[in-house]
């Protein structure tokens, strides 16, 4: 690969990183519905045409960030072989490191789209980890949404309440409460 062919990739990567960083910063300052594409472009020092070259709207930018997070969590899950819901610790650690962002992401200011997309991310991770329920009257999607709801509520409480508990405590709590429920149906 020559220097000329790798330069555009680095520029594109820098632009995408700047747009994501701008969105993250704005989400800690404003409600989701108050953030405009122009706000993102101004913060990232990127033109609107450049933004629209990569994304259809701010929701697409958010989804791209969630996709990056999903990839990171899948890689973390790979390190936790043999442990059901191995991605959970990676997400708990990420939420702890990015508390202000997660308060904005999961709090009242996030907007319905943000919360719904984050819940979907969690549900997809869970679905990949769980077997079909033994009891045919229990639908697999019901189990997925039950666990996703529990995880999301625990994470939201932890971040919003500014709990003194650390990531180890939250993971332990999640596992102690969730594993018996999963063992009963899987």
What is the per-residue burial (b if ≥16 Cβ within 10 Å, else e) of 159-177? beeeeeeebeebbeebbee
Low-confidence residues of the chain: pLDDT under 50: 1-7
* CA nearest neighbour of 20 among 50, 1, 41: 41
pLDDT at 151: 96
The per-residue pLDDT for 69 is 86
**Distance between CA atoms of residues 31 and 33, nearest Å:** 5
pLDDT at 115: 84
| Alpha-carbon distances of 78 from 18, 39, 73, 75, 82, rounded to whole Å | 29, 37, 9, 5, 9
Are residues 138 and 84 in contact, defined by beta-carbon separation less than 8 angstroms? Answer: no
Residue 170 vs residues 50, 92, 155: alpha-carbon distances, Å = 41, 8, 8
By the 8 A CB rule, do 81 and 36 touch? no
The CA distances from residue 172 to 87, 89, 147, 168, in Å, are 14, 10, 15, 6
CA distances from 7 to 1, 3, 14, 51, 68 (A): 10, 6, 11, 19, 22
d(CA 184, CA 186): 6
CB 159 within 8 A of CB 106: yes
User: How far, in Å, are 90, 103, 127, 171 from residue 168 at the CA level?
Assistant: 11, 19, 23, 5
Report the number of secondary-structure helices (H) and strands (E) in the chain: 9, 0
């Amino acid at each position: 690969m020559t220097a000329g062919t790798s330069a555009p990739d680095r520029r594109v990567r820098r632009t995408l990183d700047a747009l994501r960083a701008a969105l993250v910063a704005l989400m800690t300052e404003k409600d989701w519905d108050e953030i405009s594409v122009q706000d993102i472009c101004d913060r990232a020092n990127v033109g609107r045409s450049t933004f629209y070259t990569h994304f259809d709207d701010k929701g697409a930018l958010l989804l791209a960030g969630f996709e990056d997070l999903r990839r990171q969590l899948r890689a973390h899950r790979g390190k936790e072989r043999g442990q059901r819901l191995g991605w959970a610790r990676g997400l708990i650690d990420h939420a702890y490191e990015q508390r202000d962002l997660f308060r904005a992401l999961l709090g009242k200011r996030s907007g319905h789209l943000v919360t719904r997309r984050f819940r979907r991310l969690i549900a997809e991770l869970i679905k990949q980890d769980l077997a079909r329920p033994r009891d045919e009257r229990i639908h697999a999607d019901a189990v997925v949404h039950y666990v996703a709801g529990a995880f999301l509520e625990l994470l939201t409480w932890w971040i919003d309440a500014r709990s003194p508990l650390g990531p180890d405590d939250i993971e332990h709590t999640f596992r102690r409460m969730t594993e018996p429920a999963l063992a009963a149906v899987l």
